[in-house]
Structure 1
Amino acid sequence: MREVEITSIHRMTPRVKQFELVADETFEYEPGQHTQLHFERDGDGEGDQNDGEESEDEEVVRPYTATGLPGTDSITLAIKRYDDGTASVYMHERDPGDIIEIEELDGNLYLRDLDTDVAFVSTGTGITPMMSMVKQYLRDGNGRATFLYGEKSQEDVMYRETLDQLEAEHDDLRVVYSLSDEDWSGRTGHVQEHVEDVVPDPEGTDFYCCGVPGMVVETEERLTDIGVPEEQIHSEGWEEDEVSEE
């Protein structure tokens, strides 16, 4: 466990804030890995259900993924606020200068092969591990990268300016957005529906998936159906309540 200071907060979308966290030591991790936020919630605090009896404080633990590359004393976390959430509400109430506690970064979502074509498939804040991995791949990889990102509407899209700039700077990167709740000039519907259309060689591509559990499961099934070997499909194994109750 380490203490970190929130040094800046940037609103990315109406419901998402990005937090820069600075520590006394360098962060070392594989791009795509996550940390765990720890804090104590007052058992009698606002939003808690109780019958008037005294309640003990409860430790809350939630996973969040660094969006940048390792090797510095800071990481950034993009966190979406859920009105009935716990950790997301706690973080959205923080201010620059606040100290919070996080674990060392770890996890199963990281690039396996820098010499193979890759495709990143994400929805919502599932984009966060993909941002660090695509940066690493564009720096060190030796193939083509396809970045598929699904959201409800244009105002919900995170990191659009960054992704558009990366695509403009790298001929071997294609970025595809799909919106499920808005008619626009781009693709619509669920992002996983577009895999076959935009990934040049699915059977020769490593896939990395992160987002709501339904999307991850459907993407894995779709990839298997079109012949992508199981060992080329990678996702973080969040439990459903960890994804929905932020």
Structure 2
Amino acid sequence: MTDTATLVDRYRLASRVSGFRLRVPDRELEYEPGQHTTVRFDAGGEEVVRPYTPTTLPGTDEFALAIRRYDDGLASSYMHTRAPGDEIMIGEFEGNLTLEDPDRDVALLASGTGLTPLLAILRHYLREGTGDAHLVFGERTAESLFHRSTIDELATMHGNCEVTYTLSDPDWDWLGRIGYVQEHLEDLFDDFESRDFYVCGVPEMVVETKEELRDLGAPDERIHSEGWESDAVSEGS
């Protein structure tokens, strides 16, 4: 099933990352925070289909995406050349990376645009959850961090929300953590058995983070990801 969405606004979020506000007229959108839709278009006579995850909660006729532009990325280049008023074909909302239990503490472990489903899950948890949430967001440089003001505002507004940033290639004046998300888990968390861990990023990051969590004592049923990342790493090796 496909729908036609209208691009309402496009705005800068960070270096090479833009936000897109889309509206599906006369339809209240229903999806689980963390689920993705697809952007669909023709390129050279072939249909291109790419998944993107709303960073916003359902319940209105609008949703927002955050998309990083890659020079060789067909879909990201397509989206970054759209203008307000353009119509964009989208697919149905689906995916299994959603909040499992609002009564357990959660750790949201994100790198790059893997933040997008976890930001939606964080918003959902801060509305419905009864425990503590800790978002760990890794990027390459400070300029690459996107939605930082939104994340900081959520942490300011909610006493049960903690945020940690870590950079793999920091600027000279960066005072925060350095390295990859998975390198800081043992230092940041002291309970790996009862907390739920949600992991999203490039496949290698997801695989390494899940392995580290298991080594630290997290049961498999407490570790949540999209689930396809191991196959992607195997195919690329």
Give the TM-score normalised by the residue count of structure 1: 0.90
Q: CA deviation at 1:238?
A: 4.6
2:168 aligned to which of 156, 174, 180: 180
Aligned mates of 1:79, 1:238 — CA distance in 2: 20
Are positions 1:117 and 2:118 aligned together? no
After the TM superposition, which residues 94-113 of structure 1 pair with which residues of structure 2 at under 5 Å, given as runs? 94-113=82-101
Residue equivalent to 2:115: 127
Residue equivalent to 1:54: none
Residue equivalent to 2:200: 210
Q: CA deviation at 1:200?
A: 3.9
* TM-superposition CA deviations, 1:110-136 (whole Å, max 9, x none): 000000000000111000001111011
**Worse overlay, 91-100 or 190-199:** 190-199
Are positions 1:163 and 2:151 aligned together? yes
* TM-superposition CA deviations, 1:195-244 (whole Å, max 9, x none): 12222422111011110001000000000011100011111135649xx9
Give 1 or 2 for the bigger CA radius of gyration: 1
Q: CA deviation at 1:84?
A: 0.8
Aligned mates of 2:120, 2:36 — CA distance in 1: 11
The code of the aligned residue for 1:30 comes to: E
* TM-superposition CA deviations, 1:167-194 (whole Å, max 9, x none): 1121211100000001410000001111
Q: Is the 8 A contact 1:146 1:199 kept in 2?
A: no
Residue equivalent to 2:59: 71
Are positions 1:8 and 2:40 aligned together? no
Q: Is the 8 A contact 1:179 1:190 kept in 2?
A: yes
**How well do the aligned residues superpose, as a CA RMSD in angstroms?**
1.4
Are positions 1:90 and 2:92 aligned together? no
The code of the aligned residue for 1:35 comes to: T
Residue equivalent to 1:23: 24
* TM-superposition CA deviations, 1:32-85 (whole Å, max 9, x none): 00001110002xxxxxxxxxxxxxx00000000000000000010100000011
1:231 aligned to which of 221, 224, 232: 221
Are positions 1:195 and 2:196 aligned together? no
The code of the aligned residue for 1:41 comes to: A
Residue equivalent to 1:36: 38
The code of the aligned residue for 2:137 comes to: Y
The code of the aligned residue for 2:159 comes to: D
Question: Runs of 5+ in structure 2 lacking a partner?
Answer: none
Secondary structure, aligned partner of 1:62: strand
Runs of 4+ in structure 1 over 2 Å off = 237-241
Question: Runs of 5+ in structure 1 lacking a partner?
Answer: 43-56
The code of the aligned residue for 1:196 comes to: E
Percent of residue pairs bearing the same amino acid type: 52
Aligned mates of 1:120, 1:91 — CA distance in 2: 27
The code of the aligned residue for 1:65 comes to: T
**Worse overlay, 28-37 or 164-173:** 164-173
The code of the aligned residue for 1:198 comes to: L
Residue equivalent to 2:135: 147
Secondary structure, aligned partner of 2:218: coil
Aligned mates of 1:231, 1:26 — CA distance in 2: 33
